[in-house]
Amino acid sequence: MDVQKAISEMTLEEKASLLSGSDFWHTKSVERLGVESCMVSDGPHGLRKQNQKADHLGIRESIKAVCFPTGCATASSFDRELLKTLGEAIGDSCQHEKLSVVLGPAVNIKRSPLCGRNFEYFSEDPYLAGEAAANFIQGVQSRGVGTSIKHFACNNQEYRRLSSNSVVDERTLREIYLPAFETAVKQAKPWTVMCSYNLINGTYACENRWLLTDVLRLEWGFDGYVMSDWGAVDDRVASVEAGLDLEMPSAGGETDRLVVQAVREGRLDERLVDLSCERILNVNQRYQNNARPDTLWDKQAQHELARRIAAECMVLLKNDGGLLPLKVGRRIAVIGAFAKKPRFQGGGSSHINADQVTGAWEEFSKLADVSYSEGYTIDSDEPNELLLAEAEVTAGAAEIAVIFAGLPDRYESEGYDRKHMRMPACQERLIRRVAAVNPNTVVVLHNGAPIEMPWIDDVTAVLEAYLGGQAVGGATADVLLGRVNPSGRLAETFPLRLEDTATFPWYGGEKVNVEYREGVFVGYRYYDAKRTPVLFPFGFGLSYTDFQYAHLILSASEIADTGTLTVSVEVTNVGKRAGKEVVQLYVADRESTVVRPVRELKGFAKVALESGETKTVSFTLGNRAFAYWNEKLHDWHVETGAFGIQIGKSSRDIVLEEDVNVLSTVSLPNRVTLNSIFEDLLADPEKAEILRPILDLYQSNMRRPAPDKEDSVSITDDMMRAMIAYTPLRSMMNFTKGQITYRQLVEAVEKMNHIEKPESGR
């Protein structure tokens, strides 16, 4: 189909009709011109394809599909290739089911552990989230199927998500909430983008021209179509003008008529309607040209893949005395309802109708000497004394007790946020009771976000399994029994308490305006800056082997901000088992004129090493690794100075570091005015020289004793320096009773503004 020719032959009504869905999941067709309908489907960790009765919240049943680990788990793999492989599997499923676009990945930043949808999101860190998203997208789209990266942007809470106004300053937007989208758009070129429900600084995302056109298309080069989240459109005409192409789901033709009316009344340029049609049809045509409905969907093979992926994502949080891996032949007590019926995904639009589910008990029951006790009921938070007593007996008779615990479905889901970070009381009581009778107690966690662990000192080992998909039981057994060496690392900080989080005083407290008062200090950026103790830091994770780092080498000791820096480091497996290490590279600005985080993740690599093996890992850092968003320039800016290149095992465990000096090539606007203060002006020797006569006269006046008190104490030098530092130029007229004139001050300002000197650097 010649898309532009087809559009030129359409009536206005036909063109407007293409700008909204025909139902919950399909775009519209124009049969007389050969324009076919295409289907989209929820994801992103599996297919939630619905056929007849449709909904957008996962209430009604969908087709049987493979449920892979959710975003909270896959990001913890820190493995780009793994994300790509997952995407390829999803793409094959979409081809088999004739789906043009899978609605994902979800890359919103985990601003608070309480967000009900955090299980879908990747990380609190935008660099990690962007890399995970880009590789997932590349995997899906390599199969000739599109993705819809979501939710653009600042959808960081479920509370009032359809009407809340995210109030975010420009720098915070650019450094925290937009980069994951930017990375994915530039690196992977998703076919579509889904805008969020909420307002951003007073304008709905769906009608925010700055967001959808200026940034997304003109700045980042996005060339696909933008669709709405389901029911997110406020003003359909304004959203077309802003750059929203497809409204989902169908509005029964009501909004199509509004578009037609606006064009005929001259309120909407018809060329914008044509442009939206072109974008939608180009994507649909791309799918149709690559459609392969005969693609094999081997669900059993994908189930095994889901098991492998889940094992790679698990994070070993504690392993005192090397209790894990478990040795076959020891008496093991398996305790907890999640052992037989694991929680493996979250609720809402991403809920997959899994074709099969395996619990850990299925694997453990194959061993010789194992026993089971339920311990708690999933449907109640209240401790059950009978179940607790049975669990104590079972645990007491075993050498090792493995408790499967976490958060029930009702604790975290799309549509609402958590109220606290605690586990159900029945599970916390169970852990303490079992640990009291068995010193070798292991806890396996099934949860989509951080939890408080007041019992952490009572147990010997903790394995974070997250929401690991339908094969999580087998994957958990693989890790516990040592078939797989755990290599996951936390993609988010686990705070000790909810009260320790940066957003605690205000998260979810406002009804309309949601002020992002913590600014760029999200996740580890906040905890590390405040030096707040945490339960487990960002990037943390243990292994059954040990790794050592050596020979951190920088390609240069000094670079310009237009250049690149190559960083290499050697990693050696000094343990007795093969394993994988996640090498994390952080950049620390040693001194800045703006408040910056202590360090920020700017590179990572997962490397597999046999026992005794050494490999060299290399990174390349460009301008953005050193830059902050400058609100005067409305652009990224690097200040001249030293930056620490830090290699860490987490944000709190830096093992090697070297400094590089970066030279700025960009001049900052730094106009002097009568409101400029002396502390800033005197930092420049040439400006200080111009101000010398004014300062001398001012100091002379300030040191003159009061006329009726010849013995009064003069102002000290320290006091004088402090008073001068924060004084604006204009105040000189008042403090000298006019001896320094307005004209003198204006002339001094003009001289300082004519100093021909680059203002790059600090």
Predicted pLDDT at 52: 60
Intervals of CATH 3.20.20.300 along the chain: 3-290
Mean pLDDT, range 86-101, rounded to an integer: 98
Predicted pLDDT at 522: 98
Per-residue pLDDT of 558-576, as tens digits, reads 999 999 999 999 999 999 9
Q: What is the CA radius of gyration of the chain?
A: 30
Per-residue pLDDT of 103-132, as tens digits, reads 999 999 999 999 999 999 999 999 999 999
Per-residue pLDDT of 421-478, as tens digits, reads 999 999 999 999 999 999 999 999 999 999 999 999 999 999 999 999 999 999 999 9
Residue linked to tokens 């449920």 = 67
Rounded Cα gap, residues 324 and 567, in angstroms: 34
The 3-class secondary structure across 629-654, one letter per residue, is EECCCCEEECCCEEEEEEEEEECCEE
pLDDT-above-90 percentage for the chain: 87
In 3D space, the residue among 353, 289, 398 whose CA is nearest the CA of residue 48 turns out to be 353
Rounded Cα gap, residues 45 and 90, in angstroms: 7
Per-residue pLDDT of 23-73, as tens digits, reads 999 999 999 999 999 999 999 999 999 876 667 666 678 899 999 999 999
Domain at 547-663, CATH from 3.40.50.970, 3.30.910.20, 2.60.40.10, 3.20.20.140: 2.60.40.10
Mean pLDDT, range 535-541, rounded to an integer: 98
Per-residue pLDDT of 396-409, as tens digits, reads 999 999 999 999 99
In 3D space, the residue among 203, 202, 192, 199 whose CA is nearest the CA of residue 248 turns out to be 192
The answer on pLDDT for 612 being more than 80 is yes
Per-residue pLDDT of 735-747, as tens digits, reads 888 889 999 999 9
Question: Can you spell out the DSSP letters for 2-22?
Answer: -HHHHHHTS-HHHHHHTTBBS
Question: Encoding tokens for residue 693?
Answer: 């006569």
Predicted pLDDT at 60: 72
Task: Give the residue numbers annotated as catalytic, written as ranges.
Answer: 229
**Residue 449 has what DSSP assignment?**
S
Q: b/e string for 67-106 if b means 16 or more Cβ within 10 A?
A: bbbbbbbbbbbbbbebbbbbbbbbbbbbbbbbbbbbbbbb
| 374, 390 Cβ separation under 8 angstroms | yes
Classify domain 3-290 by CATH architecture: Alpha-Beta Barrel (3.20)
300-536, superfamily in CATH? Glycoside hydrolase family 3 C-terminal domain (3.40.50.1700)
Mean pLDDT, range 276-291, rounded to an integer: 97
Intervals of CATH 3.40.50.1700 along the chain: 300-536
Intervals of CATH 2.60.40.10 along the chain: 547-663
Higher pLDDT, 591 or 53: 591
Per-residue pLDDT of 185-224, as tens digits, reads 999 999 999 999 999 999 999 999 999 999 999 999 999 9
The answer on pLDDT for 710 being more than 80 is no
